[in-house]
Amino acid sequence: MKRALAVFAALAASSAFAQQNDWSIDLASGVAVMEEVSPLVFRVTNAASSAKTIASFTIGIPSQPYDIDGAVPPAGWRASAIDRRNRRVTFTAMGACGTPNTGLRPGQSALFEVRVLPVSQSRDQSNQNLDRNRTRVVDVCNTNANFRNYTGSSAWQLVGLAADVRTSVRALDVDDQLTVTLTVTNNSTATQNAIAPAAPVVSGTAAFTLVSGPTPASVSNLAQDAVATFSWVYRATARGSATFAARAQNTQVSSPTAVSSGVLVSAFPAATIATPSSVVSGGTVTVRVLPTNNGAETLTLVTPLPLSPTGPATVTPLSGPTPSQVDALSPRATTAFTTTWRVTGSPGDHVVFSGSVTAQTAAGATLTSDPVTSGDVRIDEVTVTASPEAVLSGAGATQIRYTVANGSRQPISSLEFIKPDANLFRTPSATAVPSGWTAGTGSRRSGISFTANNAAAQLQPGATQTFTIAFTSIGATTVNTPVSHKVQVTFADTTTVRTWDVVTVVVNRPVPDVLLPIAVATTGRAYFTWSNPSAHDGVLILRAAGAAPDTAPSAGVRYPPGTALGNATVVYEDALSFNTSFADTGLTNGTRYYYRLYNRDEFGLYSAGHVPAPSPGNNLLVIPPGTGASDPLWCTTVGLPALQQPYTDLGKAVYQSSNGAFITGSTITAGAPVNGNEKWRPTLTRGVVQARPTALRFGGAGEPSIFVGDQLGYAYRLNGGTGAITWTGNGGAPLGEVIQAPAVVAVRVFTNAAFQAAYADDLVFFATRNSANRASNSVTALAGATGARVFTYQPGDLDQVTGPVLFDYAGNTLWIASARASGPSLRVLDVLNPAAPPLLTVSDLGDIPSGVARNGNANQALVVDRSGVARAYSISSRTPAWELNVGGTVTQPLVTWGADFFVSTTTGVQRYHVDPGTNTVTAVWAAPTPLNNPSSVRVDAINGKLFVGDGDGWLRRLDAATGAVERSVKVSTAGGVSMPSYDSTAGLQRVYVGTADGRLCVYPSTFQ
Amino acid sequence: MFIRTILRAVIVLTPAMLACSEPGRHLELVTASDVEVRPPEPLVTPPVLEVLPVAPVYQYAEPLPLPARHVVTVTLVPAGARRLRDVQRVNVDVTVDRGAVGQRRISAAFVSPQGLAWETQHATVDLAPGGIAVAHFSLPVASTFIEDQNLFGAWQVTTLDDGVETAAAGFEVTP
């Protein structure tokens, strides 16, 4: 009896004690979306008044209308049982019973995630809640931890619309636009009308203004499983980062608020992309860091910094980064650094990556890019990867391959591909059914099912299998529309999970071309370089012999190398690549090959191939040279007229500008391999450059500085070592309408004391060719170091200046020759007092398009007007010395050589000798050498030879003594060639000439 | 699920009810004022009202934009000039309407009489809904390589809208 009383007392005490154990469950976040795996996060709290620790508990989900997909415990816990059949999840603390930090002690709480898969209803449902009878604390430690029913606000909402928000770009700069797209899928069982979006909420430090949208304002008649898209266009107005959150609804159904990935507005952003977004544990993820140079100058030594993975999943680096460094990144170009990682963990674990790079500016400063974090990479029990990931809006018959990876512990016995939007993905049917599997009609919304015929055929843990579904056609959309392709997976034990991948229906849209493609032709070989825009996945290069490629690639189609496309052959193709060079070898020397480059974006859309220009002559012409005496050593091709005289940095490099509005630098090699590979990626100018580059080395610098103006009136100084623009003169403002004349530099260290007292810097003179008001032309002196304007000579009667001016170091005078629609066409300015009237004005001459030349032997300034009247003036006294009619139209600059000078008229070339004592001028050759529209000559003073290009595309070598044509080679069959340059370096002796068909060719001076 | 039913009136027996002969089932006539009863199990699963597969046709509240349109006006400056020496510049004004709203990149590609691409110029316009914009381009001629190379004859200018060829025009200069 006593013992019975003791037991009773103990039970009573135990019972009384149990009454003090309370716990609560509150919904921390989450909305259940019909037919979508939806994470619900619950905050579980052990009441402070409890006497016991919670070491294990079970959450019961109502069986109607939910399935359980999975669960994610907090640190120190595990999902010890996921009972899909009975819709319950048991979480258990990982420590041993009684260990102080095991479980939830009184007063503690933690977040537990349960992923549910709700089946469809006709409309939204509120107050969805846990199954109270099956949600309870488990006394796993046998401590009589009897807890009462939980309290708290654990209810959630079940909604019928799935939502997805994406932005057209993830990295941009101020004034750039982006499109925000909200895609909603009607997962309810009813057709929905009047679905309208709420205006996106922009959160973050970046600022945007709405340009247009939403488009459309609402959508009706949206059937079950159908998708609709709403889009807005925004313009970035301030730098920073931001996200866009959007949702849609009608009176029956709504979507959760979906948030876009982060968008960065920056001058130097680096987006990080991790693919695929879903892996089984142990799977491999490829991470690409994509820096974009939104600035105006080329960045160099672009180097990736170590990646920062964040999240509960464990990641292990496998390879990369590849490449480890990129030499240069042109403005508006993007490059990529690729690493691969192994991801391990439990289903539901996830990780994001954030990467950044450093780069050097022209001034030597180090820039660090602003990082853009990747999307989530999650670990799933089963993953499906769709290929292709994008299909073209309105496409015909299309097959999609779904590769299923089984990362679970159970074999997969059947799969059901739930039919996506029937309007977009029309009439699916199974095709190429794997051996051992049978295709049929699924039970859920008439999907396509694949069932293993027997246990041996089931998809075993760790294995993958590809299933293919054919669609009769793809519907039309007006904006890119991501559509979730869901797969219901049934394991051998009859439990199920849901997995999915996104296939985007893309609208054919303009895709930017590759930037600045250059080809270098050498014997049997063509070497290409280009830069990639940010909207990029790969490049396609076509080659045709004898004629330009006549067929463009089709959107969504990949063409392996060797594929015939019209009259052309695919010679290069890549994907998921930011490669920027390719060598096409095995070419036949002398054959005219026409190449065209196409950029392809992530959706498989191709650019128009409008590089170098949208025209019938749009191609890169490559003629591999042979090894004969008439063959060039190499030719570079930019595809647009390059008729300026190249500038040769003797023995080191050659610089050329073209109508492509960029300047190139090519290396010079003396021995094999002889080529003209890029010294740096071309430097973009704002306008076309037709002025010869003026290059000087200052203070023993290892690399020259290059001064040049463009046809939009901008003046530049470039670093010859890197191609970077050191400055755009006059504070970035144009000096006039057009700069056609080459720049002239007064190098201060060579000037006299008076100049050095007046100016603390070199002066760079740029003259204008204004045509709207021809009397408004000017000559501006810019500071050599900074490009700041020092003075402008704009008298109000100066006509166009298209030839070089002459700076006289002894007298500090500037000789300016111009056209003469107004005012005199020759004037001499006192540089020390530019505001004063000119020291000399000459109105007797007509237009002088060819500038002023200096005869050093006689210390005379030489000018010749368009009609062929040449005059010389004493530079020191500014008095006339002599006058001569050379008998022809002259537009090319005079070239002086000792006491002699050469004149190129439109019909030939003549050499004249000036007797400095008598100022008599005599023709040296018996007669002018007849040539059609020749350029100015380039003198080989050592060997007494002249090089000249003509209007028929010939490069000629003349004997300087007689004018006889000794050598001729046809450089171009399409138009003329430029004034040549000559490199007299011992062992080189090469001649450089530009062509109207967009090439720069290099010949040995002994060409035949 | 139970339904709370209040029976207050005389129950009328219908022929169907009286004809019920299922074993084990019988009718109880109850006159109590407040009883709770389980509804009879349906003998046949009631038809589920399914939504008919309505053809999912998009119905946009706003019409799709019409294709972009360019009207190209070419002017040789100064007026009346035709010779290479005299033509200072060729102005190309592209009036842009329709198409997408917002920023668009308009390009003018000049092709020489020899059929070679000469140069491409770009401008950005900002189009308001229903609005028009004009992109200006200018090609210098006299005292440039065009004159140097004697590129007289029929020139062509092609305009592009965000990279899509949209219109073309021509002009001619004489020697």
**pLDDT, tens digit, for every residue of B54-74?**
433 444 444 456 788 999 999
Mean pLDDT over A38-50 rounds to 94
Q: Which of B53, B144, B150 sits opposite A690 (nearest CB)?
A: B144
What confidence score (pLDDT) does residue A423 get?
85
- How many residues comprise chain B? 175
Cα gap A507→A515, rounded to integer Å: 23
Closest chain B residue to A221, measured at CA: B56
At A9 the pLDDT is: 46
Mean pLDDT for A955-984 is 94
Residue B149 has its nearest CB partner, among A220, A802, A976, at A976
Bridge partner list, A667: A653
Looking at beta carbons, which residues of chain A come within 8 Å of B91? none
- Nearest by CB to A422, which of B56, B111, B150? B56
Q: Name the one residue in this structure whose structure tokens are 């040995």.
A: A1004
Contact yes or no for A183/A166 (Cβ under 8 A)? yes
Q: How far is A128 from chain B, CA to nearest CA, in Å?
A: 18
What pLDDT, on a 0 to 100 scale, did the predictor assign at position A617? 64
Q: What integer pLDDT is reported at residue B64 of this predicted model?
A: 54
Share of chain A above pLDDT 90, in %: 61
Least confident span in A141-145, A383-387, B158-162: A141-145
How far does the CA of residue B117 sit from the closest CA of chain A (Å)?
6
Q: How far, in Å, CA of A586 to CA of A563, rounded?
A: 17
C-alpha distance from B21 to closest chain A C-alpha (Å): 35
- Model pLDDT, residue B53: 38
How far off is chain B from A122, nearest CA to CA, in Å?
9
User: Quick one: DSSP state of residue A652?
Assistant: T
The shortest CB-CB distance from B116 to any of A122, A218, A974 is to: A974
For A457, the 3-state DSSP assignment is: helix
Lowest-confidence region among A155-169, A239-253, A617-631, A703-717: A617-631
By C-alpha distance, the chain B residue nearest A234 is B102
Residue A844 is given by DSSP the state S
The Cα of B12 is separated from the nearest Cα of chain A by a number of Å equal to: 37
CB pairs under 8 A between A and B: 162
- Inter-chain CB proximity A974 and B114 less than 8 Å: yes
Tens digit of each residue's pLDDT (9 = 90 or more) over B127-159: 888 889 999 999 999 999 999 999 999 999 999
Q: What is the ipTM of this complex?
A: 0.73
Tokens of A1001: 């060719």
Q: Which residue has the tokens 């996060």?
A: A41
Question: Least CB-CB distance to A616: which of B59, B64, B115?
Answer: B115
List phi, psi (to 5°) of A457.
Answer: -85, -10
**Residues β-bridged to residue A747:** none
For residue B1, pLDDT beyond 70: no
Q: What is the DSSP string of A521-547?
A: EETTEEEEEEEB-SS-SEEEEEEEESS
Contact B116 A220 (CB under 8 A): no
Out of A212, A608, A690, whose CB is closest to B101?
A212
For the stretch A207-223, pLDDT in tens is 999 998 898 999 998 98
Tell me which chain B residues have a C-beta less than 8 angstroms from the C-beta of A709. Answer: none
Q: Contact, A210 vs A232, CB < 8 A?
A: yes
Residues from chain B that touch A951, judged by Cβ atoms under 8 A, are 149-150
**CB-based contact A771 B140, cutoff 8 Å:** yes
Q: CA–CA distance from B13 to each of A404, B28, B35 (Å)?
A: 61, 11, 19
Ranking A449-453, A795-799, A985-989 by mean pLDDT, the lowest is A985-989
Token pair 């020259």: residue: A704
The answer, yes or no, to whether residue A419 has pLDDT greater than 50, is yes
DSSP-derived secondary structure for A845-907 = S---TT--EEETTTTEEEEE-TTSEEEEEETTT--EEEEEE-SS-B-SPPEEETTEEEEEBSS
- Contact flag A614-B129 (C-beta cutoff 8 Å): no
Closest CA to A70 of A406, A629, A480, A497: A497
Quote the pLDDT of residue A19: 52
pLDDT of residue B19: 39
* Highest-pLDDT range among A276-285, A463-472, A549-558, B6-15: A463-472
Asked if residue A12 has pLDDT above 60, the reply is no
Peptide bond into A420 cis (omega under 30): no
Q: pLDDT at position A425, please? A: 92
Interface touch B60/A211, C-beta < 8 Å: no
- A964's CB contacts (< 8 A; 6+ apart) are A929, A958
Phi and psi of A989, rounded to 5°?
Answer: 45, 65
| The Cα angle at residue B144 between residues B138 and B146, in degrees rounded to 5 | 85
Nearest to A191 by CA among A225, A234, A240, A155: A225
Lowest-pLDDT range, A725-729, A898-902, B37-41? B37-41
B165 CB neighbours in chain A (<8 A) are 608, 614
Answer whether residue A578 shows pLDDT above 60: yes
Enter the DSSP assignment of A691. S
Which is higher by pLDDT, B140 or A74? B140
Task: Tell me whether strands A263-265 and A171-172 are parallel, antiparallel or unpaired.
Answer: parallel
pLDDT surpasses 60 at B7: no
CB contact under 8 A, A659 and B118: yes
Query: Other CB atoms closer than 10 Å to residue B167's CB: what's the count?
Result: 18
With a CB cutoff of 8 Å and minimum separation 6, the contacts of A207 are A236, A237, A238, A240, A242, A265
* Nearest Cα residue in chain A from B101: A212
Amino acid at B128: A
Indicate the residue of A219, A511, A614 with minimum beta-carbon distance to B158.
A614
- From A180's Cα to the closest Cα of chain B, the distance in A is 14
Pick from B51, B103, B111: CB nearest A615: B111
Average pLDDT over residues A853-861: 94
pLDDT at B162: 85
Asked if A778 contacts A739 with a C-beta cutoff of 8 angstroms, the reply is no
Q: Per-residue pLDDT for B47 more than 80?
A: no
* Cβ-defined contact of A215 to B62 (cutoff 8 Å): yes
Chain-wide mean pLDDT for chain A?
Answer: 90
Testing the interface with B: which of A177, A685, A688 to mutate, by most B Cβ within 10 A?
A688
List the beta bridge partners of residue A212.
A233
Q: Tell me the pLDDT band of A81, cut-offs 50, 70 and 90.
A: confident
Taking contacts as CB-CB distances below 8 angstroms, the residues of chain A near B111 are: 613, 615-617
Q: What is the number of other CB atoms lying within 10 angstroms of the CB of residue B99? A: 18
Task: Please check the confidence at residue B51 and state whether its pLDDT lies above 70.
Answer: no
Contacts of A614 in chain B (CB under 8 A): 107, 109, 117, 120, 158, 160, 165
Min distance A997 CA to chain B CA atoms (Å): 7
- Which residues are CB-neighbours of A759 under 8 A, at least 6 positions away? A748, A751, A790
The overall average pLDDT reported for chain B is: 72
pLDDT value at residue A533? 86
Poorest-pLDDT segment among A553-562, A614-623, B72-81 = A614-623
Of A615, A771, A891, the CB nearest to B88: A771
| Cβ within 8 Å, pair B148-A892 | yes
Cβ contact B119:A659 at 8 Å:
yes
- Listing DSSP states for A7-30 in one string gives HHHHHHHHHHHHTT--EEEEEEE-
Percent of chain A predicted with pLDDT > 70: 97
Range A906-915 average pLDDT: 96
Mean pLDDT of A705-725: 93
Q: Which residues of B touch A976 (CB under 8 A)?
A: 149
Q: Which residue has the higher pLDDT, A741 or B18?
A: A741
**pLDDT (mean) for A83-103:** 86
Residue among A191, A618, A643 whose CB faces B54 most closely: A191
Question: Is the pLDDT assigned to residue A680 strictly greater than 60?
Answer: yes
pTM for the predicted model, two decimal places: 0.74
Outline where DSSP puts E strands in A196-239: 196-197, 201-204, 207-215, 227-238
The residue behind tokens 């979480």 is A91
Note the pLDDT of residue A63: 74
Q: What are phi and psi of A162, to 5 degrees?
A: -90, 150
Hey, are the CB atoms on A892 and B149 less than 8 Å from each other? no
Confidence of residue A286 (pLDDT cuts 50, 70, 90): very high
Residue A291 Cα, gap to closest chain B Cα (Å): 23
At A817, which helix (H) or strand (E)? strand A813-817
Q: What is the DSSP letter of A820?
A: -
If DSSP codes are grouped into helix, strand and coil, which group holds residue A256? Answer: coil
Option in B115, B117, B129 nearest A640 (CB):
B117
Q: CA of A958 to nearest chain B CA: how many angstroms apart?
A: 21
pLDDT band at A445; cut points 50, 70, 90: low
SS3 content of chain A, % helix, strand, coil (to 5): 5, 50, 50
The pLDDT score that the predictor gives to residue B8 is 37
Contact A480, A602 (CB under 8 A): no
Q: Which residues of B touch A511 (CB under 8 A)?
A: 163
Token pair for A11 = 């039970």
Task: Check A891 against B114: CB less than 8 A apart.
Answer: no
pLDDT class for A986, splitting at 50, 70, 90? confident
Are A261 and A375 in contact, with CB atoms under 8 Å apart? yes
CB pair distance less than 8 Å for A974 and B162: no
Contact flag B145-A690 (C-beta cutoff 8 Å):
yes
- Tell me whether residues B88 and A478 touch, CB distance under 8 A: no
Residue A616's pLDDT is what?
61
In chain B, residues with a C-beta closer than 8 Å to the C-beta of A738 are 140, 144
Q: What confidence tier does A443 reach under pLDDT thresholds 50, 70, 90? A: low
In the predicted structure, residue A576 carries a pLDDT above the cut 80 = no
Residues A886 and A903: beta-carbon distance below 8 Å:
yes
Smallest CA-to-CA distance from B73 within B134, B3, B116 is with B134
A283 to chain B, closest Cα gap in Å: 38
pLDDT for the residue A18: 45
Q: How far is CA A824 from CA A798, A815, A838, B33, in A?
A: 7, 12, 11, 121
The predicted pLDDT at position A347 comes to 79
Question: Which strand (E) or helix (H) includes residue A413?
Answer: strand A412-417
B40 min Cα distance to partner chain A (Å):
22
Identify the closest residue of chain B to A952 by CA–CA distance. Answer: B149
